[in-house]
Structure 1
Amino acid sequence: MSDKVEYDEQARVSNWRKFVRKNLLIHLIPNTVLNTVVPYFAFKAQNSVHLFSGEQNLARFLLPMSLLLPFMITLDILKKIKELQHSGAINYKVDEKITGYPFILKKAGLNGLYSILVVFALMLALHFSFPKNHDFGITPSAVCAGLLAGLYSITFFYLAIRRFRIDAV
């Protein structure tokens, strides 16, 4: 009987590891590629890339991405964890505060709000530290947008599962 219980516990830990690997790749690869390619072709249609000025500026891509990407990643991961919690596929302690949608939406909203505030503050600091009408370049700007999307994918994925990862292993 104890072998069965031990096997179930190992299976749940294995399910948790598969969940983490699969969902991290699902978020990391498309976000990085799309958020590099789309700005690159949008910037290529113009001569220069500025932070806040111009038709296709860097803020036009980074600020919406900084709000929506953390929000959507957190929302998606917490919803998937909630489904796994109810099916019993992963092993962690049940806490009633984390099962409801108000908690999920609050956590996702706060992650999106904090990330856009930090990125906006950094962009303002860059704007005031560089000379007026400084050109950031097409390729470096697109690569930075893609790297930021990859960083968001990893960071907010692990922030969403931080509470559960400790209990699962």
Structure 2
Amino acid sequence: MMNILNIEPIKQFIIKRASINLIINLLLNFGVQYWGLHNFEQISFSSGEQSILRVFLPLAFFLPLFVTMDSVKRFYDKTCQKNVPYSVPKKYKTLKFRLILGLKNAGWSLLVFSIILVSVFLLSPKNMMFNSVLVMVVLTSMAGAMAVIFTISPVVQILRATRKLNSIH
């Protein structure tokens, strides 16, 4: 079985989209976090005007959803333009497919982040406050990593599903 990342146009597409999504998400998330948290020296886990939960959970859901949907659309467009020598069935173009795949990735991401946040909550002392600069750095780093993961993941999933579909016929 051939490694799908060895196909040069697919590798170029993934590197380009992952780099663009990384830069955009780093800048966007740092700007949003700075704007939202720059007035706070310390933030709590779940209470107060600004909290860890209010910052992490939307990021954990919406970033994978929108990055996945964008990656699927752009990959399908590249295959239609014949820039990528790979035939992808039309069912992978639909908004329904993009939404289902995006929601699946967002659900997994939300589950993982929820487990991490519950662990932090259970292991940290009661009423512990977090440094807002550290929270900004961690969130921005996580957003960048998630952007890369959720750019690559849907392309690999589509290629595997297409390969499996072609092997059945």
TM over 0.5: yes
TM-score (norm 1): 0.81
Distance 1:94 1:165 in 2: 8
- Number of the residue aligned with 2:82: 88
Secondary structure of residue in 2 paired with 1:49:
strand
Percentage of matched positions with identical amino acids: 25
Matching residue within 68, 74, 81 for 1:74: 68
Matching residue within 22, 45, 54 for 2:48: 54
Amino acid at match of 2:147: S
- Number of the residue aligned with 1:9: none
- CA shift digits 1:76-131 (9 cap, x unpaired): 01001111222222112433542333222110111111111221221112111101
5+ long unaligned stretches in structure 2 = 1-6, 163-169
CA change 1:164–1:110 in 2 (3 A) is: closer
Aligned CA RMSD, in angstroms, stands at 2.2
Structure 1 residue 42, shift from structure 2 partner: 2.5
- Number of the residue aligned with 1:128: 122
Give yes or no for contact 1:50–1:134 (8 Å, CA) kept in 2.
yes
Secondary structure of residue in 2 paired with 1:136:
strand
Distance 1:101 1:38 in 2: 28
- Number of the residue aligned with 2:105: 111
TM-score (norm 2): 0.81
Look at both structures and tell me which one has the larger radius of gyration over its CA atoms: 1
5+ long unaligned stretches in structure 1 = 1-12
Q: How many residues align?
A: 156
- Number of the residue aligned with 1:158: 152
